[in-house]
Amino acid sequence: MSRGEPTTAGAQGARDQVSRLLTLVPFLHARGQVRLDDAAVALGVSPAQLVKDLKVLLMCGLPGGYPNDLIDVDLDALEGPEADGVIRVSNADYLARPLRLTATEATAVIVALRALRGGARDDTREVVDRALAKLEAAAADGADGADGADPSRAAATRVEPGEGAADADIALLATRLVQASRDRRQVRLTYYVPSRDEDSLRDVDPRGVVASRGVQYLDAWCHLAEAPRLFRLDRIGTAEVLDVPIVTEAEGPRDLAEGLFARTTDATVVTLLLDPPAHWMVEYYPVEEVTATDDGRLRVQLVVADPRWLTRLLLRLAPHARVVAPQRYADDFTASAQRTLGLYS
């Protein structure tokens, strides 16, 4: 270990001290003068450790670092012959006021939290996500153009955090949606539908967030479709938690351990052959297997539970897709295509 490199115990001690200080300040502000022994018992530390923390508190305060900016602790009351063992803290009245960040301060905190999230453990990441969600929501509320709002605060919600930004945004969205499902509140989504290349507006009853093959989905009852639906989080444009309770029966999210479509007796594995203009299909629909052929086409296997869904998909892909197997699905599509063409004649 090189000189000056902090030990694990030292780093842990610093984190513990910061945690104690964050608890100590509101504790003292709410109670005024408190005896050292009583405060030590309430905070779960020794009196000697509490005095050390108070000496650190002396160096904390508002930006600037001038005497009037820092918190004042009466150490003479805690040490020396005239000590009476009572903690007296002054010049900390601003701690009773709600924290208000400027656009620059909010942006700095959001960038720092997103950077911290990238290397955080799962338990820490959950805390960071909650803090980010609250901070970004507050920044957005302050930029809505209402009286007294600061439009420049919109910059805090448009920060480019660098590598991993998309993952952080999806994680924040997932946290909000999970909380909405726990609170049993409806969510209004703007959702991109690739098959129609358009955004749709939907009110849903969220059930939870699930993942399959590295992709996260919101499992919810869709009031537009009047059926349960899975919404890819990376296709959700906006998600507004409404002050409206869900109207469907509260259920947990489905289990996607076996994929988006669980193998049942009604499900069939269908093999398609896609020409290059139809290759986009594998990016937007769940498939079991994709194999490139020598002539530049893709051989795709997917699970089909409803033949009518497959027919509609093939009509959109025509003439750049055909069914390889089972043959009955190819026959069904050919008959449907002929009926469709007959409508034009």
Q: How far apart are CA 32 and CA 41, in angstroms?
A: 16
With a cut of 70, list the residues of the chain below it in pLDDT: 1-15, 61-69, 92-104, 117-123, 125-126, 133-134, 136-168, 194-197, 213-214, 255-267, 345
Q: Measuring CA to CA, how many Å separate 13 from each of 57, 75, 81, 247? A: 16, 23, 30, 49
Structure-block tokens of residue 34: 């408190």
**Could you tell me the residue ranges of all domains in the chain?**
8-96, 99-163, 184-258, 268-344
pTM above 0.75, yes or no: no
pLDDT value for 257: 59
pLDDT value for 145: 46
For the range 20-25, what are the long-range contacts, defined as Cβ-Cβ under 8 Å and sequence gap of 24 or more? Answer: 20/45, 20/53, 21/53, 21/56, 21/57, 21/60, 24/50, 24/53, 24/54, 24/57, 25/57, 25/71, 25/92, 25/95
Query: Among the residues of the chain, which ranges form H helices?
Result: 8-31, 36-43, 47-57, 103-118, 122-141, 165-183, 281-284, 307-317, 327-344
In terms of Cα–Cα distance, which of 273, 267, 343 is closest to 314? Answer: 273
In terms of Cα–Cα distance, which of 79, 75, 58, 76 is closest to 67? Answer: 58
Tokens 């000590």, located at residue? 83
pLDDT value for 345: 67
Structure-block tokens of residue 182: 């726990």
Q: Do 288 and 269 touch, CB atoms closer than 8 A?
A: yes
pLDDT value for 185: 93
pLDDT value for 211: 74
Pick the CATH number of 268-344 from 1.10.540, 3.30.70, 3.40.50, 1.10.10: 3.30.70
Query: In the CATH hierarchy, which fold is given to the domain comprising 184-258?
Result: SH3 type barrels. (2.30.30)
Using only C-alpha atoms, the chain has a radius of gyration, in whole angstroms, of 29
- Residue 124's CB: how many other CB atoms inside 10 A? 12
Q: Which helix (H) or strand (E) holds 268?
A: strand 268-274
Q: Do 278 and 285 touch, CB atoms closer than 8 A?
A: no
* Start-to-end CA span in the chain (Å): 83
